[in-house]
Chains A and B, each alone.
Chain A
Amino acid sequence: AQSVSQHNHHVILSEAASLELGCNYSYGGTVNLFWYVQYPGQHLQLLLKYFSGDPLVKGIKGFEAEFIKSKFSFNLRKPSVQWSDTAEYFCAVNPGGYQKVTFGTGTKLQVIP
């Protein structure tokens, strides 16, 4: 069965710092990859997705992620975080041809003004 690992459980950054959240998955075939964000008290929202093509994908609010197939990774990045980015971030994987999405354990990001 596929699994998703997020190595950082809790990250604290100052505003304007750069962000990189790690995500690794275990599945050998074609995958669809997602990052979801959950702001405090709100529901899951799609941040960005990768299905095929350019491995560097850009999402909303200045976020981007890079798919590195050889490393089974899909790390999330943002050059300069803002206080409003404080949220929990979930990496998710959907093996091609299957509907189930498997989520990682999430990374809580706290941005200090």
Chain B
Amino acid sequence: EPEVTQTPSHQVTQMGQEVILRCVPISNHLYFYWYRQILGQKVEFLVSFYNNEISEKSEIFDDQFSVERPDGSNFTLKIRSTKLEDSAMYFCARELAGSSYEQYFGPGTRLTVT
């Protein structure tokens, strides 16, 4: 199974600080996704990214969030001013072209906002 790696595995930050979460697909993919899972809750869709543009985003993905693929390889999620309620596991997922929306998830980054 093709892999996705995410860095860091755990990030602790203070409220109001900016964080950048990184996703590195092993091979080239067209579609990328960010999801989050608040402890004890379900996995929630944040945003999908196709061809270097946002293709869909949820109501959770407000102005404090942004995504980009700065160097054509890494796929980043930036949270500009973190809040306590941003504490969650953040999963990157990628989708092979032509795989009918079958998504493969990375191991996640645990973000703790204090």
Contact = CB atoms under 8 A, between A and B. Distances in A.
B100 A100 contact: no
Interface string B93-114: 0010000111111111000000
A90 B43 contact: yes
A43 B90 CA distance: 11
Contacts of B102: 34, 46, 49
Interface in A2-59: 32, 34, 36, 42-46, 49, 51
Contact of A100 (B56, B105, B108): B56
Max count, chain A CB within 10 A of own CB: residue among B33, B91, B95, B101: B101
Interface in B66-81: none
Max count, chain B CB within 10 A of own CB: residue among A49, A100, A105, A106: A100
Contact of A101 (B50, B103, B106, B107): B103
B42 A90 contact: yes
A99 B100 contact: no
A51 B100 contact: yes
A82 interface: no
Interface string B26-60: 00000101010000011111001010000110100
A92 B102 CA distance: 11
